[in-house]
Structure 1
Amino acid sequence: MSGGRTRLQRLYQDGSAKIRMPLVQGDPLEAVLINTAGGLTGGDRLGWAIGAGEGACVSITTQACEKVYRAAADHAEAKVSLRVGAGGRIAWLPQETIVFNQAAFVRRLDVELAEGAEGLILEATLFGRLAMGERTIGGSFHDRWRVRQGGALIHAEDFRIGQDIAARLERMAVAGGATAVATLLLVAPNAERLLEPARDIIGDRGGASHWSVGRSGKLLARLYAGDGYQLRKRLVPLVELLNGRAGLPKLWSL
């Protein structure tokens, strides 16, 4: 923080991982992540590390949907590390990840929140390309989240699916045939009061729950839909609700 505004202190970029900072008038400071390689395939490794200092407010999104292509060998991996100081807030709001047929992908998300810090974390995934007639999809997908606050683990999940992804998504206990899914996690003291409005937006194609965690609260929401368009119809207002005055990343509305 400097002069009452969040400002960039250090930026490092390497390889195909690029970062651009749109001009904004106030908080939150916005960053747009770009993978200039155009996607990921077997053997690729992509990492993002973002830190917000005490009292800082940061919003992160991506220039476009990340594409995970067919893997001839090995798997593609994306690692995200988020750190937030006391009184700070981070919104991790990438656009959807599109998983192609026979892709192999591992995504690891590690979040460290100081006491009094807040975080809004989103990951949305589209399995297959319906517009290209890709309705039968195989491969492997592993999503791992670890979120800590004040050093204590407050959220952990591991989602794995494969090799016949399409068949597993058909199961009622998994997605009931849906191919577009999203998970949002809000860690904030006011999370509980947003629970019922969130449920109204989600409707019967997902759900939301709240827990008290230390001096804060945790709201976890999951959505599923038949395609990316139907998912966004509810995802957009849900992000706007949970992200407060910061609202939706500007690139989402272009």
Structure 2
Amino acid sequence: MTSMQATTPGGWQAELKLQFEQRMGRSLLARRAHRGPLVVQKPLYPEGDAVCHAIIVHPPGGVVGGDQLSLQVQLASSAHALLTTPGAGKWYKSGGRLASQSLQFEVADGAVLEWLPQENILFDGAEVAWNSRMQLSATAVYAGWDILCFGRQASGEHWQRGVLGQRLTLQREERLLWQERSQLEPDALCMQSVAGLRGCPVVGNFVVAAGAVPAALIDTCREIVPDAGAWHGVSVVQNVLAVRYLGHSASQARRYFEALRQVLRPWYAARAALAPRVWNT
């Protein structure tokens, strides 16, 4: 493992690179390197050797204007890694400087990558750009979710100033499977429109790319619903299963996604859906 601290006048430059391999039935964190305040905790094996759980930690506890976070993950053939975070990501008021996060995941044949972070919270005044790019080999599996809160719901804060740019690209064998782009501001029409976010302060997306999705599984997913007061939807495009949540509670969104994972993981990973221990701390 290598480490080097780096800052710029505009904020922290933080980069974490992880490589997972499968050796004799055990998924290992074979290589890791970090620059700046973005690290990984000791790998855990609550499911046995086949699945490596790793917790991605941003020690400052929050992201401010000018900070740039980069997470690069590679999985070699047949490896299985589950990545999560120890708590909510906090994106503070930016002061006119953009904060950014870049995710770059490469998953080889037969490998399974689960990216299941806890929610991100946009504080009032946050100006944020997120770019996620997933490159999958022919038989690779990716399952990932994101839950976003516009403002601090617990303290009654609303996201009234700022900007959010998001881009998600999912490719298999260089073929584009899924791409989403959005540019949001608090007063944008789509924030309140019934064709947009309906004024909901919490938005969630759960995407699974694991080949053809059985029709019975789609039906089962559609039978699972979040608590009252939320909107949801399940769709499949080019063998990518996408689930949407719109509502008022990050914990509700997580419970909904966890319920879906209970039925989806036996399909995409051939094992029961064990929750990471850090979610219970």
- Conservation of the 8 A alpha-carbon contact between 1:139 and 1:164: no
Secondary structure of the 2:27 match is coil
| Cα 1:11/1:136, change in 2 over 3 Å | closer
Q: What residue is the counterpart of 1:191 in the other structure?
A: 213
Q: Match of 1:249?
A: 276
**Displacement of 1:112:** 0.5
What amino acid does structure 1 have at the position aligned with 2:262? E
1:181 lines up with 2:208 in the alignment: no
Moved over 4 A (4+): none
Aligned to 2:242: 220
The share of aligned pairs that are identical, in percent, is 25
1:209 aligns with 2:249: no
Indicate conservation of the 8 Å contact 2:127/2:163, yes or no: yes
Any unmatched runs of 5+ in structure 1? none
Are the aligned partners of 1:169 and 1:179 in contact in 2 as well (CA < 8 Å)?
A: no
Any unmatched runs of 5+ in structure 2? 1-21
2:185 paired with 1:154: no
Give 1:38's aligned amino acid.
G
Structure 2 counterpart of 1:31: 54
In 1, the alpha carbon distance for the partners of 2:279 and 2:170 equals 25
Q: Aligned runs of 1:1-254 on 2, under 5 Å?
A: 1-24=22-45, 25-135=48-158, 137-164=160-187, 168-189=190-211, 191-192=213-214, 193-202=216-225, 205-211=231-237, 213=238, 217-244=239-266, 245=271, 247=273, 248-254=275-281
CA distance in 2: counterparts of 1:136 and 1:112, whole angstroms: 33
Q: Distance in 1 between matches of 2:178 and 2:125?
A: 30
Which AA in structure 1 matches 2:92?
Y
Q: What is the CA deviation profile of residues 41-64 of structure 1, one whole-angstrom value per residue up to 9, with x for unaligned ones?
A: 111000100111011111111111
- 170-179 or 137-146, which deviates more: 170-179
User: Do the aligned residues in 1 keep the contact of 2:84 with 2:115 (CA within 8 Å)?
Assistant: yes
Cα distance between partner residues in 2 of 1:55 and 1:49: 18
SS of corresponding position for 1:173? coil
The answer (yes or no) to whether the contact 1:42–1:71 under 8 Å persists in 2 is: yes
SS in 1 for 2:32: coil
Q: Which amino acid aligns with 2:34?
A: Q
Deviation at 1:148, TM superposition (A): 0.6
Residues 153-190 of structure 1 deviation map (CA, whole Å, 9 limit, x = unaligned): 1110012210436x753321112221111111111135
CA distance in structure 2 between the partners assigned to 1:182 and 1:23 by the alignment: 27
Taking structure 2 as the reference length, the TM-score comes to: 0.83
2: CA distance, partners of 1:88 / 1:65: 27
Superposed CA RMSD in Å reads 1.8
- In structure 1, what is the Cα distance between the partners aligned to 2:249 and 2:198? 13
Aligned-partner SS, 1:236: helix
Q: Secondary structure at the match of 2:35?
A: coil
Deviation at 1:198, TM superposition (A): 1.6
Q: Distance in 2 between matches of 1:97 and 1:160?
A: 17
CA distance in 2, matches of 1:231, 1:56: 28
1:202–1:168 Cα change, 3 Å: same
Shift of 1:246: 5.2
Q: Tell me if structure 1 keeps the 8 A contact 2:65–2:99.
A: yes
Report the TM-score when normalising by structure 1. Answer: 0.91
Query: In the TM superposition, what is the alpha-carbon distance from 1:150 to its structure 2 partner?
Result: 0.9
CA contact (8 A) 1:40 1:69 kept: yes
CA contact (8 A) 2:150 2:159 kept: no
Between the aligned partners of 1:60 and 1:225, the Cα distance in structure 2 is 25
